[in-house]
Amino acid sequence: MSARIEDYAMIGDLGSAALVGRDGSIDWLCWPRFDSDACFAALLGTPENGRWQIAPNDKNAKVTRRYRPNTLILETRFETADGAATLIDFMPPREGNSHLLRLLIGERGEVELHGELIIRFGYGATVPWVTRIDDHTMRAVAGPDMVVLHSSAPFRGEHFRTVGDFTIKAGEKKSFGLSYSLSHEELPEAVDVEERLAATERFWTAWAAENKIDGPWQASVVRSLITLKALTFAPTGGMVAAATTSLPECVGGMRNWDYRYCWLRDATLTLLALMNGGYYEEAQMWREWLLRAAAGSPSQIQIMYGIRGDRRLTEWEVPWLTGYEKSQPVRIGNAAHQQLQLDIFGEVMYALHQARQGGLGKNETGWDLQRELLAHLEKIWREPDEGIWEVRSDREHFTYSKAMAWLAFDRGIKSAEMYGLPGPLDRWREIRAAIHSDVCAHGFNTALNSFTRAYGSTNLDASLLLLPAIGFLPAQDPRVKGTVEAIERGLVVDGLVLRYNSARATDGLPAGEGVFLACSFWLADAYLMLGRRDDAVRLFERLLALRNDLGLLSEQYDPRAKRLVGNFPQAFSHLALVNTASNLSHDQKPAEQRSDRATAGAVDTHEMPAEA
């Protein structure tokens, strides 16, 4: 049976990431990039699809684990009747080749262990040609890929696996290194594992120390910020939505998507989280990635891109992988990259406005692009789209999409007014007012006293919790209060928030997916803006309790099975956590971030807290 999603930890080198189970098995690793083919794919199949395990022979061994404080270095402690040992797993920030390093330290008595390395390139399909170089070095090659093992412990080949049995005593150390290179390049040299461990710890502790979000949840914020940093592709600044593909929204179901790409809908959340945390260099790199990715004809803008800005993300299914707990199909690529989502125009315009407000460079190389985006949006904002949740059914006039189109023009106007940038402001003001009137006339249901998911619909949508946050209406507007109350009645399950109305099983819990964690953070933010601070804190702390023992969150939570579901760890969840913590920690201070002073039909008379 598969390990629970929350039983995994993530390690990474700012180019790729691996998932490590409590049992000392690395079950997922795409090399050399987040979006490369996996060489360890046991997470979505069986051990035969690739993994690297180092574990005690005693199946009853007690296992505890932790990240070293303020780092991405994982320590797993195995304790048996005869002794105890700690396995340290990490990937040093990449300089040249990518390395996956493991250090085993004997602490008490002696522990007998077994090591098993199964390399399978091509998402678990391709058995490499393995060559022993010497007593401590092995090379595996298939096509363009080469992985080299350096081990201080003995190993042998057995049934297309590399295995080893060894005993470690108190005071002893054994080191293991796996390095990736292209197969036509020179063999990667062995690295000093202990030296790299010390350097990696210095890197992460120094980076974490730069955090500027204080308050009672500082430790939780730092862990989320480290997770977000680890999901960033350092060469370009792009941040993947998750390290995985096809972890199911409902175990055994078909909602299994590839999240190893960069979504424009995350743009503002990402900038706010990084700037709130004081990480302006990372925020600047994200802004530059955003400008490069979105460059080109506005009619060809996509909702997501690859980590290098790649546009072709063709979706296909992997028939030889059985899926996480038989959740099929396993998908590579994401067909949603071809969808129309009007909300991304608002996200891009607002993210770049926030970048200006945050002082991320005063050069206006992106303003011409922004003007062209608004010119294109003027032509299409009345069209139906697939919406923020990427429905694969017919397009609709989603209320949130229209509100974000309003946001695009609103922030374009603000940037022009605040920074003296050229643009047809009178025309933009007319369009802004027209969109606002359209949303209020067609997106609000008087019988429900709530905005609804789509024009003419009676269904609710948690994205509407963001209407006051973007400044579309003041938080104290009766329509906003009514929408929050309707969502409390119709979308809250076990105190947590569904994305939208979905079919329910006989026990009243959602069918097909779990509660969406980012939406639950948005409800906490809405509570805070409505003056319901106690409710906001209670919900926030409830969400913190859903993290695994290492402080990681996936996309969703299954309240029935009481387990995390969806891709892991999920940037959207951690971005929301950071911003909500910032809001709660600083809500006594005036701030203008996601909720600028509203204009054009949405007049706000008070300062609102920074919003995720």
Using a 10 angstrom Cβ sphere, with 0-12 exposed, 13-18 middle and 19 or more buried, the burial of residue 394 is: exposed
Which DSSP category does 370 fall into?
Answer: H
What one-letter code names the amino acid at 277?
G
Residue 296 pLDDT level (bands cut at 50, 70, 90): confident
Cβ pair 444, 450 in contact under 8 A: yes
Q: How far apart are CA 386 and CA 176, in angstroms?
A: 48
The percentage of residues in the chain with a pLDDT greater than 90, rounded to a whole number, is: 85
- Which ranges of 261-386 does DSSP label H, i.e. alpha helix? 267-276, 280-294, 343-357, 367-380
Q: Is 526 helix (H, G, I), strand (E, B) or coil?
A: helix
Average pLDDT over residues 118-131: 97
Task: Please tell me the predicted confidence (pLDDT) of residue 243.
Answer: 98
Average pLDDT over residues 137-159: 94
Average pLDDT over residues 228-235: 96
* Two tokens, residue 275: 């700037």
Mean per-residue pLDDT of the chain: 92
Task: Please tell me the predicted confidence (pLDDT) of residue 295.
Answer: 87
**pLDDT at position 268 over 90:** no
| Domain spanning 233-585, CATH architecture | Alpha/alpha barrel (1.50)
Task: Please tell me the predicted confidence (pLDDT) of residue 599.
Answer: 33
Task: Please tell me the predicted confidence (pLDDT) of residue 507.
Answer: 58
The string of pLDDT tens digits covering residues 273-285 is 999 899 999 999 9
The string of pLDDT tens digits covering residues 197-210 is 999 999 999 999 99
Q: What is the CATH number of domain 5-206?
A: 2.70.98.40
Chain position carrying tokens 């953070």: 521
Residue 65 pLDDT level (bands cut at 50, 70, 90): very high
Residue 366 pLDDT level (bands cut at 50, 70, 90): confident
* Two tokens, residue 454: 């789509």
Q: How far apart are CA 34 and CA 307, in angstroms?
A: 8
Residue 506 pLDDT level (bands cut at 50, 70, 90): low
Q: How far apart are CA 251 and CA 260, in angstroms?
A: 20
Which candidate, 20, 107, 98, 103, places its Cα nearest to that of 65? 20
Whether the pTM exceeds 0.75: the reply is yes
Residue 509 pLDDT level (bands cut at 50, 70, 90): low
Task: Please tell me the predicted confidence (pLDDT) of residue 503.
Answer: 61
Q: What is the DSSP string of 185-208?
A: SPPPPP--HHHHHHHHHHHHHHHH
Task: Please tell me the predicted confidence (pLDDT) of residue 505.
Answer: 56
Which candidate, 443, 454, 455, 521, places its Cα nearest to that of 479? 443
Return the axis-axis angle of helices 517-529 and 478-490, rounded to nearest 10°: 140
Task: Please tell me the predicted confidence (pLDDT) of residue 526.
Answer: 97
117: left (phi over 0), alpha (psi -120 to 50) or beta: beta
Can you say whether the dihedral through the CA atoms of 610, 603, 344, 460 is positive or negative?
positive
Q: How far apart are CA 385 and CA 343, in angstroms?
A: 9
> Which stretch of 407-411, 497-501, 503-507 has the lowest confidence by average pLDDT?
503-507
**pLDDT at position 153 over 60:** yes
Q: How many CB atoms are located within 10 Å of the residue 155 CB?
A: 22
Cβ pair 169, 106 in contact under 8 A: yes
Residue 359 pLDDT level (bands cut at 50, 70, 90): confident
**pLDDT at position 384 over 70:** yes
**pLDDT at position 142 over 90:** yes
Average pLDDT over residues 365-378: 92
**pLDDT at position 266 over 90:** no
The string of pLDDT tens digits covering residues 438-451 is 999 999 999 999 99
Q: Is 56 helix (H, G, I), strand (E, B) or coil?
A: strand
Q: How many CB atoms are located within 10 Å of the residue 502 CB?
A: 12
Strand partners, 149: 138, 178
Domain ranges of the chain: 5-206, 233-585
Average pLDDT over residues 43-47: 97
β 496-497/304-305 pair status: unpaired
The string of pLDDT tens digits covering residues 553-612 is 999 999 999 999 999 999 999 999 999 999 999 864 433 344 443 333 333 322 223 322
